[in-house]
Amino acid sequence: MRQNVSFFKKVKFMWTYMCKTLESIRGFVCCNCPGTTSEQAGKSASCQGCPNQKLCASGATKAPDPAIAEIGAKLATVKHKILVLSGKGGVGKSTFSAHLAHALASDNTKEVALLDVDICGPSIPRIMGLEGEQVHQSGSGWSPVYVDDNLAVMSIGFLLSSPDDAVIWRGPKKNGIIKQFLRDVDWGELDYLIVDTPPGTSDEHLSIVQYLSSTHVDGAIIITTPQEVSLQDVRKEIRFCHKVKLPIIGVVENMSGFVCPKCKTTSQIFPPTSGGAEQMCADLNLPLLGKVPLDPRIAQSCDEGKSFLSEVPDSPAAKVYQNIVQSIQDYCSNSLTEEQSTTLKH
């Protein structure tokens, strides 16, 4: 009997603890944070209970990071900056980033760079065929690794002794390496800088947006797959973009059906039970850039470090990619024209 009473006391204690923890988490997730640089930082009602309340209230967070201005000066020679985002992992962000870089660099008159800020899961070196390459130091900073004369790549994968090494870092160290990638890499003059990000809306995303705040960022490309389980997280990413005032160029739906290579019939491997990206874009008033069908050769080309667009240029997926890239180029051209017009007015 005593054992049963003791057991039930333990269960009651654990249940109470869990309820309080969940209540605390809901408070942090749902509260309307005024932002660390706001005049209300650390002072508003929503700040109550936040572990960083004292720090924000002290005013220390309002001081601008001097690296922001340095990065702005460093990237002044980069015409277009594009972020590739998704709230969900495994939807093909790195695959899309790599093929976007390849497609833009297919024009030999354009200088393109691909920056991998997925600190814990850097797959860009493998996808770009650069595994085993190393970064070199020069008088003007770190030299990126080149796929072609006009296509440069930077990733933490180049700094690891083995592709199997785990990067076990907390936020501050992640922020530090992203700052170094933007400020200390010798990017030179670029037409396009593509930033491949990890899934989520956390450290890496906040850092990249903050450090690029003194430069013009064309916008973000949101990657998803047709399933609702993916779209749920992608909607969070879209809200993140709105919150940090990051323009959204459009949405790309990967793994959108499978086109049989023989009969050309399209089958839905991942059924869009809630309407897929098309319905989401209609609901949120966002452009749908394209729906890329499944093709096993995309995964094969990534494993082999080759460009799928060069290997199978006439495939249905490659044609969709080409249309998406053209839409992105048109958007960036219009964005640059608008920025120049605004500069002339002021």
The binding site for ATP comprises 87-94
Q: How far is CA 225 from CA 117, 165, 237, 256, 307, in A?
A: 21, 29, 14, 7, 21
β-bridge partners, 136: 143
- Quick one: tokens of 146? 């080149």
Binding positions are 33, 47, 50, 56, 87-94, 260, 263
Binding positions for [4Fe-4S] cluster are 33, 47, 50, 56, 260, 263
What is the three-state SS of the chain? CHHHHHHHHHHHHHHHHHHHHHHHHHHHHHCCCCCCCCCCCCCCHHHCCCCCHHHHHCCHHHCCCHHHHHHHHHHHHEEEEEEEECCCCCCCHHHHHHHHHHHHHCCCCCCEEEEECCCCCCCHHHHCCCCCCCCEEECCEEECEEEECCEEEEEHHHHCCCCCCCCCCCHHHHHHHHHHHHHHECCCCEEEEEEECCCCCCHHHHHHHHHCCCCCCCEEEEEECCCHHHHHHHHHHHHHHHHCCCCEEEEEECCCCEECCCCCCEECCCCCCCCHHHHHHHHHCCCEEEECCECHHHHHHHHCCCCHHHHCCCCHHHHHHHHHHHHHHHHHHHHHHHHHHHHHHC
Sign, Cα dihedral of 150, 151, 155, 161: negative
Sign, Cα dihedral of 70, 86, 293, 274: negative
